[in-house]
Amino acid sequence: MPESEPMTIGVIEPAKKVLAHRAARCAAAFDDTGRELIYFLQAMSHEPGGLRKAAFEILAANPHRLGSLAMHRAGMGEGVEYVGDVLEIVCEELGEFPLETRESIERQIGMVELMGLCGGRPGDDLQKELRNSAECEEEIAELREKLNPENRRAAARHFIEACRRKAATLARHLKDVCVKPGLDWQVSWFADLPAALNEFQVTHAELSMRAAANTSIAATMYKALDYTYKTRGLVWINGLRRIGKTTPAEAWVKANSGRARYVSLESGQSETGFFREIANAIGCGYVETLTAYEIRSRIGEALGNRDLMLVIDEAHNLFTSTRGAEPKRVEWLRTALVNKGVPVALIFTPQFISRMKAVEKASGFELSQFRFRVTKFFNLPDVVSGGDYETLARHLAPSLGKSSIATLAAYAETSDAYFHAVRTAVNEALFLADEEGEKLAGRHVQCAVRELLQVDQILNIEMGEPQARAGRGKRSCKTLEKPLKDSFWGRESHDPASIVTDRLRSIPRPSQLTSDRPRAAQLAPG
């Protein structure tokens, strides 16, 4: 098929989700690369669109690979015909026979020869009119002419269309490879499918990593997760709330979906709910009606090959709120996973340590064996540099200028929400721009920051919490292009109320953008 010609195929047949414990059985028969590809496809089957979407993207990216090996060797251009032995090979590869097969013609010749010897067809009544030998010889000559290699030819276009029809079954084939042991990756109608799958996996990883900004926190998270997979141990990753742990962890796991699975634990879950969360993250199928024991069995089967790494976010929820309860979840994690060589990374805030101590004290259950299984402890910094805030702001809103980026970073440095403050401000600015029907601009950012500062001030007054993080990541006003007043940065005393007041005065009011939307003001008491 010419490289310039676009891929046109029929509707791709849907394929069901691949269950993790079934994929694990098939993965055992492959090498490291094959196992990783099996788990990657299993993860893709649980994504929106499933394997059907993956198959479409693979075919769209590889139109030049459509066709059998013999077709690629003989050519697939306009007007190309396959003749003689080449035609026979292509027909055998694809199972497509536009002409009568040699075997069929040879059988017909044998039947005619037999008729000539017997004076008629086998089983004919002797009273029927017999064919003379001259008629039989003439029919035999016509049949032998069909066997002449020069007369056996077919256009390449016929076989290209056949390959396009077969392409509609790709999703189903990928699913079968993941659940049927011994099934080969390769298909006759697509040249080097394993190479195309590897390229698709690499592209998917690159796109997944773009979801997270390249901050120093993200770099530390990637280093910790890489270390966990390579050492196949238990790793703890500790960081303050909203410091920027979750987004890099999700991006890394999605980029490494052939190696890892991500689960974020909910608070207050029952034992069955806890295992159901993990089973759903791994892809064990519908487990809503199963007991905790049955779900644990599926998880154990899915992770038993030690091919997949488990990344658990919000790990402080491993400890239940029931006073005096033994830490059964932690013990299951240690005995069923860590002790058996399954790589596990726990991501948590400092309350994980305090909860663990409280559980030990209340239940009398000693967790020393769990602690001694930790191979490395990564402690994320509790101070974020202004450069990281600017990196995230540029990642979320690449069209903004330097002054607007600095404004977002300055707001984040005074907020207790860290990176979340930048995301909230960008979302608010995008909302304002969308209401005006315009593209995002610096004035939308300034108005968004003003409104968020008003909300922060109101919440802090109501909740009685400090608004500013004095001395944490402060920068000189020289690094800004003065989006805010210099007096804010030069102030010796960091009084939250006076800081907010100065900033509110220095930024244009919402009425300068949209006079009919004083949304933050409506939140004010009274």
More confident residue, 108 or 495: 108
What share of the chain has pLDDT > 70, as a percent?
A: 75
Q: Are residues 147 and 225 in the same domain?
A: no
Please report which confidence band the pLDDT of residue 123 belongs to, taking 50, 70 and 90 as the band edges: low
Q: Are residues 392 and 488 in the same domain?
A: yes
More confident residue, 355 or 386: 355
Cα–Cα dist 155/82, whole Å? 6
Residue 6 has pLDDT above 70, yes or no: no
What residue numbers bound the domain in which 506 lies? 386-523
401-415 pLDDT, tens digit per residue, is 999 999 999 999 888
Nearest in space to 345 (alpha carbons), one of 335, 333, 353? 333
Q: Are residues 374 and 392 in the same domain?
A: no
Last residue of a domain, one of 379, 395, 410: 379
For residue 381, give the amino acid letter: P
Q: Which tokens go with 420?
A: 């979340």
Instruction: Summarize the confidence of residues 409-423 as an average pLDDT.
Output: 90
pLDDT score for 479: 35
Residue 238 has pLDDT above 90, yes or no: yes
Instruction: Summarize the confidence of residues 123-134 as an average pLDDT.
Output: 48
Q: Are residues 283 and 372 in the same domain?
A: yes
Last residue of a domain, one of 144, 164, 184: 164
CATH number at residue 307: 3.40.50.300
Characterize 447-462 residue by residue with b for buried, 16 or more Cβ atoms within 10 angstroms of its Cβ, and e for exposed. bbbbbbbbbbbeebee
Between helices 216-231 and 246-255, what is the axis angle to 10°? 50
Residue 387 burial by Cβ neighbours in a 10 Å radius (0-12, 13-18, 19+): middle
Cα–Cα dist 488/316, whole Å? 38
Residue 130 has pLDDT above 60, yes or no: no
**Structural domain tally of the chain?**
3
Q: Are residues 440 and 501 in the same domain?
A: yes
CA angle (489, 492, 495) in 5-degree steps: 85
Q: Report if residue 288 sits inside a domain.
A: yes
361-396 pLDDT, tens digit per residue, is 888 888 888 989 999 999 998 888 889 999 999 999
pLDDT score for 332: 93
Cα–Cα dist 399/442, whole Å? 10
Q: Report if residue 64 sits inside a domain.
A: no
More confident residue, 115 or 73: 73
Bridge partners of residue 263, in order along the sequence: 312
Q: Report if residue 172 sits inside a domain.
A: no
pLDDT score for 426: 95
Q: How far is CA 12 from CA 15, 52, 95, 200, 375, in A?
A: 9, 6, 20, 18, 46
Residue 318 has pLDDT above 60, yes or no: yes
Residue 329 has pLDDT above 80, yes or no: yes
pLDDT score for 112: 58
Whether 390 contacts 409, CB under 8 Å = yes
pLDDT score for 84: 79
Instruction: Summarize the confidence of residues 285-308 as an average pLDDT.
Output: 89
Between helices 32-45 and 193-209, what is the axis angle to 10°? 60
Q: Report if residue 507 sits inside a domain.
A: yes
Report DSSP letters for 252-286, one per residue: HHHHTTTTEEEEEPPTT--HHHHHHHHHHHHT---
Residue 493 has pLDDT above 80, yes or no: no
pLDDT score for 57: 94
Residue 322 has pLDDT above 80, yes or no: no
Q: Report if residue 221 sits inside a domain.
A: yes
**pTM flag (> 0.85):** no
Instruction: Summarize the confidence of residues 427-439 as an average pLDDT.
Output: 93
Side-chain-side CA neighbours of 184 within 13 Å: the count stands at 5
Q: Are residues 336 and 391 in the same domain?
A: no
Q: Are residues 157 and 230 in the same domain?
A: no
Nearest in space to 38 (alpha carbons), one of 176, 141, 205? 176
Q: Are residues 410 and 374 in the same domain?
A: no
88-97, 112-121, 387-396, 403-412: the lowest-pLDDT one: 112-121
298-308 pLDDT, tens digit per residue, is 999 999 889 99
Instruction: Summarize the confidence of residues 283-293 as an average pLDDT.
Output: 86
Residue 519 has pLDDT above 50, yes or no: no
pLDDT score for 143: 57
Q: Which tokens go with 500?
A: 């907010």
Whether 451 contacts 516, CB under 8 Å = no
What value does the mean pLDDT of the chain take? 81
Whether 400 contacts 440, CB under 8 Å = yes
Cα–Cα dist 332/312, whole Å? 14
Nearest in space to 236 (alpha carbons), one of 345, 354, 368, 356? 345
What separation, in Å, do the N-terminal and C-terminal C-alpha atoms of the chain show? 72
Whether 55 contacts 170, CB under 8 Å = yes
Q: How far is CA 180 from CA 24, 26, 168, 173, 187, in A?
A: 11, 7, 20, 10, 15
Q: Report if residue 278 sits inside a domain.
A: yes
pLDDT score for 506: 54
pLDDT score for 260: 97
Cα–Cα dist 22/259, whole Å? 16
131-162 pLDDT, tens digit per residue, is 456 666 666 666 555 555 555 678 888 889 98
Q: Are residues 259 and 150 in the same domain?
A: no
Q: How far is CA 462 from CA 302, 355, 520, in A?
A: 49, 28, 15
Check residue 318 and report its DSSP letter. Answer: G
pLDDT score for 236: 96
Cβ–Cβ contacts within 10 Å for residue 515, how many? 9
Cα-to-chain-centroid distance, residue 56: 15
Cα–Cα dist 114/247, whole Å? 78
Q: Report if residue 10 sits inside a domain.
A: no
461-485 pLDDT, tens digit per residue, is 666 655 444 444 443 333 333 444 3
Q: Report if residue 19 sits inside a domain.
A: no
Side-chain-side CA neighbours of 256 within 13 Å: the count stands at 21
Whether 27 contacts 307, CB under 8 Å = yes
Last residue of a domain, one of 379, 413, 435: 379
Instruction: Summarize the confidence of residues 95-100 as an average pLDDT.
Output: 66
| Residues in contact with 325: Cβ distance below 8 Å, sequence separation at least 6, in sequence order | 359, 363
Q: Are residues 365 and 410 in the same domain?
A: no
Please report which confidence band the pLDDT of residue 103 belongs to, taking 50, 70 and 90 as the band edges: low
pLDDT score for 495: 45
Q: Are residues 361 and 390 in the same domain?
A: no
Q: Are residues 424 and 453 in the same domain?
A: yes
Cα-to-chain-centroid distance, residue 415: 32
For residue 76, give the amino acid letter: M
| Residues in contact with 164: Cβ distance below 8 Å, sequence separation at least 6, in sequence order | 7, 8, 9, 10, 66
18-72 pLDDT, tens digit per residue, is 999 999 999 988 989 999 999 999 999 999 999 999 999 999 999 999 999 999 9
Residue 521 has pLDDT above 50, yes or no: no
Residue 106 has pLDDT above 90, yes or no: no
